[in-house]
Amino acid sequence: MSRQIHIVCVSGTHEKLQMAAMVASVGAASGDEVTVFFSMNALAYFVKGDTTDAPVEGGFGTIIANNNGVPSFRQLFQQASELGDAKLLPCSMALDLLEITDDDLIPEFGVPTGLTKFLMDAEGAQLLSF
């Protein structure tokens, strides 16, 4: 029996993006139904061609950022989408406020979604926030 994991990803820090990506990729690879909702500070890191490094919060973030053996949060989200069929959803309000179109986002992203719809779909599922 697969679980439903819904992740709200709003932080723009390396550690939180990395952890959200790890949960998404492991969950998706394990056969769980994974949906990740990207908003606020997290969304800007997924514009096509953006290679900006997310700021670190502490020592562990620095270790991860400087370790070439650890897949980046971008790679992990991509793997979750491609290998495990995780849904990566951009927040429609954040797109408007940041003046980003859904065409500007990496191809793994699905259709822009409102928070209300995301929360309705998440009813009864495990909900995590990063």
Domains of the chain, with CATH numbers? 4-129 (3.40.1260.10)
Model's pTM, two decimal places?
A: 0.94
Starting at the edge strand that comes first in sequence, how are the strands of the sheet with 4-9 ordered? 87-90, 33-38, 4-9, 126-129
pLDDT for 99 equals 96
pLDDT for 8 equals 98
Residue 45 has pLDDT above 60, yes or no: yes
For residue range 73-121, list pLDDT tens digits in order. 999 999 999 988 899 999 999 999 999 998 999 999 999 999 999 999 9
Sign of CA dihedral 68, 73, 74, 77: positive
For residue range 4-23, list pLDDT tens digits in order. 999 999 999 999 999 999 99
pLDDT for 65 equals 78
For residue range 63-85, list pLDDT tens digits in order. 887 877 889 999 999 999 998 88
